[in-house]
Structure 1
Amino acid sequence: MDAGAGTPRARILIVDDQDAKRLGLAAALEPLGQEVVMVASGREALRQLLTGEFAVILLDVQMPDMDGFETARLIRSRRQTETTPIIFVTAHDRAEADMLGGYTLGAVDFIFSPVRSEVLRAKVNVFVELHLKTLTVQAHERRLRELESRQAQHELAKLWGAIAQSADPVMITTRSGVIEYVNSAFEQVTGYPAEEALGQTPALLNSGRQDAAFFDDLWRTLLSGEVFRGEFINRRKDGGEYHEEKTITPIRDEAGRVTHFVATSQDVTYRKQMEAQLHALNASLEARVRERTAELEDVNSELEAYAYSISHDLRTPLRHIGSFADLLARSSDDLGDNGQRYLRIIQDGALKMEALIDGLLEFARTGRSELRPQPIELRALLGEIIAELPGAEAATWDLRDLGAVCGDLLGVRQVLTNLLTNALKYADPARPPH
């Protein structure tokens, strides 16, 4: 409470371990003109909650020592703060964020980075106004008990005026569910004027999209005296459906008996439409990925078949060349020096050609093999490869600590073998390779 002006100010708690994020959130909320308290950890937040009430808590999900979910669980465990609204602020997208876990802990919303200032102010302002109205209600109730006079009745009328002019739909029912009051926002959202809604039950808005178990849970929660929070798919008077997030609070008399229920709600139809569009887009992208994957598999199959076909066609004449070269080698004395040199060239070429064919087949098998990732010690693997490498003794090897990687052992071995083989093959003959 601002003692100078007599105007109530709501307290907003920002919990984030990063200074820049705290200051950015506070700057975005400054136009609301409320008291902003900033802390850097969940433990500091719990200490602040002991000093007084807060209209809303902006809670970072990822924090060291005590994360946002653990902090929220402790906040909800205290009777004084079990109904304080919590808005989680997270850098994750919707697919990665544990939204269900957050709502289970009593979160009223999620805000995803980067945070848009106008969206943040709009969301926080809803709870600030509700908190201020709650403070006003509590103040009026105290005055009514203290004064019990005409002035108290006048203040009560002002309170009803504030509820009547609220931007969010408000509905009050009896314990049995009969509607006794609706404000103008209710009329605008539902299309039902007050004279048609009074005396009815909330079933007037039932779209049939919630099953019996949903309403059984609702009534079980309310009749036990607990607050119910849920999402409804309701039907307007014109037949159109809309999504609504609703909080229903039991009202008790002096003896502690539940006599009425107050329901405040927020139309979230637009948000649901955006979520549905995002879901459809994700489904479309997944379908395109599957289609592209199938195309790549077809190409790989064609490449594999082509490799086997080419290798088979090349091996037959290559065997003939090798066989006749071997026959000529047996009578190489009759060929002369040039003939013997040409024969060696033919034999070397045949061997290289066979190595190329083997490489083609190995490539085809590699594309077909299933990858089996496992931890690989690179230094040990290189030692094994060098020990088996032809001509390795002609080089100086300096193996250092290369650490471990996760990969397919056969594939990594083949890549390293090819690299080292080429390194030896194309080394400068004038200098020993190192």
Structure 2
Amino acid sequence: MVLKNNLVGKDHSIINQHWSSTGTMNLLLITDNEAVRVEIEQVLNETELVLDCLASDEVKQLFAMDKELSATCVFIDDSLAKSDLLSICSTLIEQSTEHILSILLLIDEENQQNVLEEAFEIGIFDFIKKPIEKWDLLGRLNAMWHLHRESMNRRKNEAAMNDLLEQFRLNISALKAAANAITITDRNGRIAWVNPYFTKLTGYAEHEAVGKNMRILKSSVHTKEFYQQLWDTITSGKVWRGQITNRRKDGIIYHEEMSITPVYNKLGIITHFISIKEDITERKEMEQQRLDDLQVAKRVQQSALSLPFEDEEIDFSAIYLPSSELAGDMYSWFKIDETKYGVIVLDVMGHGVPSSLVSMSVRSVVGGFITKTIDPVKVIKELNDHMLELFRHDDSYINHYFTAIYMVVDLKKKLVEVVNAGHPSALLFFDDDELIELKHTAVPVGLFDQYEIKKEQIHYKTNFQGLLYTDGVVDALADDYDEGMQLLKKHYDGCKGNSMRSDETIACLERTLKERMNVQTDDICMLHVRIK
């Protein structure tokens, strides 16, 4: 085979440029004839091609050690014994899938019939007659190089296709194994594919679902507007996420959390939708059970609050506005004897269920402490002991405590005794116009084993009014605490009066709170007492 003139110049510049720009052509010569080696090297001397040479014994030693030969083209000289030549050809052909592109025999004309027929049966590429013509050799190499490039490109394409198929199989396997239901629908909502979990979730087998519209799952729970909003979202190219209630094949209602994603073709047109469905039925039922339990606990907690009270000498009233279903705020009043009343307002650290449980625990014992112990200092001390015992085995670093104001009113002695354990100041009005803002006389309850508790004793002459509250009241009036306190004093002064009952004062303050409060962030509790 002779190269065309427009492919190779006299100095081989084009063939050199072609080979060097596309890769390296590795050549191997197997010969026991030194003259053949020299002849081949002279032909290749003006090219950039590299030639390695091995004798037949060296090749057999490499094969004996399970070594593989790597070359783009292997020349095998017929100077080898016929058996060695055919054996080497056969072994190289076995390796050719990964390493050897072509095998060329260098053969004398007299040996053609003796060797070629068997060699071609084994699978050699071609042969070159000796003596070797330079242009014949270079032409063969050029042809083999093109064949090599095509082979490499084909292998790359096959590898890429195999990788793509493997990734596709992996994706399908992942979708089938997913613990969520997955569906693919066409542009009109007809089901094209479902994974096995879809059957587990809905009861519809794949052959029952494919071809049907997703409306087979529709329940009567949602409105037409709900479905229209969903459809408008996905057909506009957006992802829809939300919770939906559907109906199984057996008619049972179930709940799912679902996302629907549009799929586009190369022209940017939506052709399909992929939906991923997570069964949240059990979670929804647990949430509903929790809400039901909270409602029961809320009713229990509110039933423990003291009811409004009024007689000829004194009246009590209060409001209780939890920021969540349950709260840590609590108030109570108790008739100790015919002339004494005990009043307490407390605020347990935190919100929700934990603080409400602590509050209920305190409520279960405070009545006994107040009616038996009476003295404010001793009552607060017993409550402190109760809190320490309640959390004696708690190894967490959380401090469980509450703030409180406990007040004893003695109508016979016209005496008010008060302990403020870390609580917001009590607002006390004596004898029509004298205001006392009673601040802390002790630290919050439950922090320390031993600490000093002081009580304030205040005598009144004719009448007395007192407002006890939690810090949520001040927070509702203003973001700044000092500003909130000033507003509370101002509004309390406008809402109280000797002729106003406690429930009227509380109602007046509640209207003010609701007018100024945007969002309630803390529990609110207010208690008012009036001595007539």
TM-score normalised according to structure 1 size? 0.37
Q: Which has the higher contact order (CA 8 A, sep 6+)?
A: 2
Who wins on radius of gyration, i.e. which is larger?
Answer: 2
